Chain A
């Protein structure tokens, strides 16, 4: 029995490696085939950007399915998609438990851009695609804010991981204030996406071949847009408002993660019953 388990795990190391290879090569293949077609056929720059975003969306959708077939992913569960259909020009804010959750979220969102490291936009394998899709580099604060406003006003959505890096095991890093700054300056609705990955895999600092004991259950919960608490408007100026809103969002995620994990113990498929929630605290989160 143990030998059989070990064999299954070793096989998953192979399939996980194959998934990485497919992802990297797939990026280059799309850049060399589909991207030139889009560049030729799209009438306007706006249309081009939308078409490339759609291409990435469908590619990621296919890639998630591919990972399910090859078995690194046992189940991919998405809840609350009704909040997505109404969320044009929204700010999607997510926790970041694993490397692949950006792929998972974008596979649900047909016109969503991301804020990424500048080095990723220059990546040989898929930098061309990301640039053509209008993904935003995070290196210049002022430029970043202008780019985000323009994209949101054009009706695109933005995905932001406010921790700035992958989440630690069993928790969250303190949230940076960029997402709150963007929300306050643009007035875009904030749609929280609570992500769970059981068992944890591809966390920061872990090599790709350290696969978990079993295939993962990846679950996304798209929640209704956040209602901004009055305490935010009570503050004068964006810097202070961003501090209050960031604390609020971080506390919200800490509470929701707790709810999700508790419910996952009792419901199959990562679903959850909606429990009565205590009020989200406004003050600085307790780490």
Chain B
């Protein structure tokens, strides 16, 4: 069982590495478009990297539904622990 906290920390590390974001600026409630300056292609890039690391794949509809880091953590948590 992988916890949501572990997924968040992994995602935070990935965001720092790939997007050069400050770790302190990333929280569960961070809006990926408004707070983290993402665009739709960044979301796809993040999904690809997450897929490589965790082995799960996110569909485009699922990506579209993601608004905050918390949304992404929830979806990944559900898929990993299904």
Contacts and interface: CB of A to CB of B under 8 A. Distances in A.
Q: Does chain A bind chain B?
A: yes
Interface in B1-40: 18-20, 39-40
Contact of A181 (B19, B20, B41, B43): B41
Contact of A177 (B39, B43, B60): B39
Contacts, number: 28
B41 A140 contact: no
Contact of B45 (A140, A176, A239): A239
Contacts of A242: 41
Nearest to B43: A141
A140 B60 CA distance: 8
Contacts of B50: none
A141 B19 contact: no
Contacts of B42: 177, 239
A178 B39 contact: yes
A181 B60 CA distance: 18
A47 B71 CA distance: 46
A240 B45 CA distance: 11
Given A239-B18, A240-B19, A142 B60 contact: yes
A242 B39 CA distance: 11
A36 interface: no
A237 B60 contact: no
Interface in A174-205: 176-178, 181
A39 interface: no
Interface SS, A side: helix
Interface SS, B side: helix
B76 to A, nearest CB: 19
Interface residues of A, number: 13
A145 B41 contact: yes
Given A176-B39, A178-B39, A240 B20 contact: yes
Most chain A CB inside 10 Å of its own CB: which residue of B18, B20, B41: B41
A238 interface: yes
Contacts of A239: 18-19, 41-42, 45
A3 to B, nearest CB: 52
Nearest to B38: A239
Contacts of B69: none
Nearest to B19: A239
Given A140-B60, A142-B60, A177 B41 contact: yes
Nearest to A141: B40
7 contacts: A140-B60, A177-B41, A181-B41, A237-B18, A237-B45, A239-B19, A240-B18
Given A239-B18, A239-B41, A239-B42, 10 more contacts: A141-B41, A141-B60, A178-B39, A178-B41, A181-B41, A237-B18, A237-B45, A239-B19, A239-B45, A240-B20
